Amino acid sequence: MLENNTISQVEELIKDKKFSELKSILPKHPEDIAYLISNISEPYWRTFVFRMISTDKAIEVFEYLPLEEQEDMIKSLTSKEIQNILNEMSPDDRTELFEDMPAELVKRCINLLSPGERKIALQILNYPDDSVGRLITPDFVQLYEDMSVQEALEHIRKVGLLRETVYHCYVIGRDKKLNGVVSLKKIVLSPPEAKIKDVMFKDVIKVNAYTDREEAARIFKKYDLIALPVADNNGKLLGIVTFDDFVDVLEDEATEDFERIAAVLPVEKPYMEAGFFNVVWKRSFWLIILVLLESLSSIVLQKYSGAIQKWIALSFFIPILIDTGGNAGTQSATMIIRGLATGEIQMKDFFRIVFRESLIGVFIGGIMAVIGIIRVFFQQSNWLLSISVGISIGVTIILAAVTGAVLPLIFRKIKLDPALMSGPLITTIVDVGGIFIYFEVASMILGI
C-alpha cells in the first residue's frame, strides 16, 4: 500500500513539471498505480499520470481503478485510447463498467469495440442484472475430446496467456456442448499419446446463464471450484466465472444483507461516494414504515390505560419486556437468515425449524421468566406483579423466537430477500405483540 507522502511527492513533481523523475518513482504493480491515481487530488493530473504508463500495463491499471474513476477516465481519454483499453479488458470487468455508466456513454464505448468484442459485450449485457450470465468471460481454454495430451499442451501454450485461467480446461464436443473438464495437473502428468476424453472428468458442475448470481456463488463455494462453467439453455458452453468475480458477488450480497438487517435500503455506492439525499432516503424509508407499525403499540397502551392507572408499576417494566422480546426475535431471525444464505436451511425444513425454535423459545423463555420474577420482586416486593412480568417475558420470547424464524422463511417462499425481515421490523412486530401479552396476563393475574 502506498503512503500519503508518495502521493504528495507525485503531485509536487507534476507541479514542478519534473516528468522524467515522476515516471521513475511510479510503483511497479498495477494495483499500486491505480491506488496512486485514485488518490491524486486533481482529475486532470490523474489522466496525465495514467497516460505516462505503458500501453500494456495501462489496461491492467484501468481494471484496478474504482468504477467511478474508470468512468471519469473514459470521459477524458481519446477515442483511440478508449478503444485500446476496452478491447483488451476482460469481458466481465468491462460489463461491470458498462453497468455503471450512462446509456449514451455505453453506446459510444460499444461502438469502439472490435466486431468480435462487441458481439461478446452485447451478449453478456442482454442477460438479467442479477444473473450469472453478466459475470461470464469467454476467455477460457477449450479442448476437444479427440485431442491427444500432447496436442492439448501445445494448444495451452499457444493461447494460455490470453485466457483468464489455464488451471482447468473445458472439453467440448463439435456441437459446442460441455462434455468434461480436465485440470492442467492431470494433463501434465498424463502420457503424451493419451486422449483427452480418457483423462477428463465427465460429471462437470455447471450452471445456466440465467441462474441468480448469488445461487451460483453458493454452488461455487459448495464444490470448492476455481472457475464455474456457464452454459446456455441448450447446454452449449458460453464461458466461465472465476473466483475473483464470486468474491465480489459474496461481498456485495453480504453488504446488502447487513444493510437490510439494519433496516436500510441497499446503497449501491461506497459510503463516502453515495449521494447525500440518496442516503437520507435509503435510511428514512424503513424508519417511516417502522414508525407507522410502532404506532400500534400506542393503540394497545391506550386500550389498557385503565389498567395502567390502577397499577402504575406495570409501566415500569414495559421497556424490559419489549427489549428482551426484540432481542430474542433478532437472534432467531439472524440465525435463520444466515442458514438460508449459506444453504444450511431449506424450505423443506420449515416445520422442523418452527418446532425447534418453539422449543428453544420455551427453554429460554423459562429461564428469562424466572430472572424477570426475581428482578421485579426485588424492586416492587409484590409476587403477583412479579409473576405477571415473568410470565409475560417468557411468552413474549416464545413469540419472538417463532416470529423471527417463520417470517424470513415466508419471505424466501414468496421469492423475496429474507434479509428484508430485518431486526428492527421483527422488533417492532414483537413489541406490539409483547405489550398485548403483557397486559392480558397482568389482567388475569392481578384481576384488573
Higher per-residue pLDDT: 396 or 41: 396
pLDDT reported for residue 100: 77
pLDDT reported for residue 195: 93
Query: How confident is the model over 344-357, as a mean pLDDT?
Result: 86
Tens digit of each residue's pLDDT (9 = 90 or more) over 197-235: 999 999 899 999 999 888 888 888 888 888 999 998 888
Query: How confident is the model over 370-377, as a mean pLDDT?
Result: 89
Query: How confident is the model over 48-76, as a mean pLDDT?
Result: 85
The set of cell numbers assigned to 185 is 495437473
Number of domains in the chain: 3
Could you tell me which of 323, 326, 357 has the C-alpha nearest to residue 339?
357
Tens digit of each residue's pLDDT (9 = 90 or more) over 31-42: 888 888 888 888
pLDDT reported for residue 2: 55
Q: Do 234 and 196 lie in a common domain?
A: yes
Could you tell me which of 277, 252, 287 has the C-alpha nearest to residue 266?
252
Q: Do 216 and 334 lie in a common domain?
A: no
The set of cell numbers assigned to 12 is 509536487
List of long-range contacts for 209-213, beta carbons under 8 Å, 24+ apart:
209/127, 209/131, 209/132, 209/133, 209/136, 209/238, 210/127, 210/128, 210/131, 210/132, 210/133, 211/131, 211/132, 212/130, 212/131, 212/132, 213/130, 213/131, 213/132, 213/134, 213/135, 213/249
Boundaries of domain holding 62: 4-129
The set of cell numbers assigned to 93 is 470487468
CATH number of the domain that residue 108 is part of: 1.25.60.10
Task: State CA 18 to chain mean position distance.
Answer: 44
Pairing of strands 237-242, 207-208: unpaired
pLDDT reported for residue 143: 93
* Confidence label for 419 from pLDDT (cuts 50, 70 and 90): low
Question: Is a pLDDT exceeding 60 seen at residue 366?
Answer: yes
Domain assignment present for residue 264? The answer is: no
pLDDT reported for residue 367: 93
Query: How confident is the model over 137-160, as a mean pLDDT?
Result: 91
Using left for φ > 0, alpha for ψ between -120 and 50, and beta otherwise, residue 137 falls in beta
**Average pLDDT in the chain:** 83
Q: Do 307 and 351 lie in a common domain?
A: yes
- How far apart are the C-alpha atoms of 296 and 299, rounded to whole Å? 5
Q: Do 146 and 201 lie in a common domain?
A: yes
What percentage of the chain carries pLDDT values higher than 70?
Answer: 90
Distances (CA, A) of 258 to 61, 374, 381: 31, 36, 43
- How far apart are the C-alpha atoms of 272 and 126, rounded to whole Å? 31
Going through 27-144 in order, the beta strands assigned E by DSSP cover 140-144
- How far apart are the C-alpha atoms of 231 and 378, rounded to whole Å? 68
Last residue of a domain, one of 98, 129, 160: 129
pLDDT reported for residue 183: 93
Q: Do 153 and 232 lie in a common domain?
A: yes
Question: Is a pLDDT exceeding 80 seen at residue 267?
Answer: no
Domain assignment present for residue 190? The answer is: yes
Domain assignment present for residue 64? The answer is: yes
Query: Looking at this protein, which amino acid is placed at residue 222?
Result: K
pLDDT reported for residue 263: 52
- How far apart are the C-alpha atoms of 266 and 89, rounded to whole Å? 29
Query: How confident is the model over 278-293, as a mean pLDDT?
Result: 72
- How far apart are the C-alpha atoms of 66 and 273, rounded to whole Å? 11
pLDDT reported for residue 435: 87
Question: Is a pLDDT exceeding 90 seen at residue 260?
Answer: no
pLDDT reported for residue 391: 92
What is the reported pTM? 0.57
* Confidence label for 268 from pLDDT (cuts 50, 70 and 90): low
Domain assignment present for residue 248? The answer is: no
* Confidence label for 270 from pLDDT (cuts 50, 70 and 90): low
Q: Which of 113-122, 237-246, 302-311 bottoms out in mean pLDDT, i.e. has the lowest?
A: 302-311
CATH number of the domain that residue 323 is part of: 1.10.357.20
Q: Do 140 and 116 lie in a common domain?
A: no
- How far apart are the C-alpha atoms of 375 and 328, rounded to whole Å? 19
Decide: 423 and 334 in contact? Cβ < 8 Å: yes
CATH number of the domain that residue 177 is part of: 3.10.580.10
pLDDT reported for residue 41: 83
- How far apart are the C-alpha atoms of 63 and 89, rounded to whole Å? 7
Q: Do 420 and 285 lie in a common domain?
A: yes
Q: Do 402 and 296 lie in a common domain?
A: yes
pLDDT reported for residue 4: 60
Burial of 186 (0-12, 13-18, 19+ CB in 10 A): middle
Q: Do 296 and 159 lie in a common domain?
A: no
- How far apart are the C-alpha atoms of 286 and 279, rounded to whole Å? 12
- How far apart are the C-alpha atoms of 64 and 62, rounded to whole Å? 5
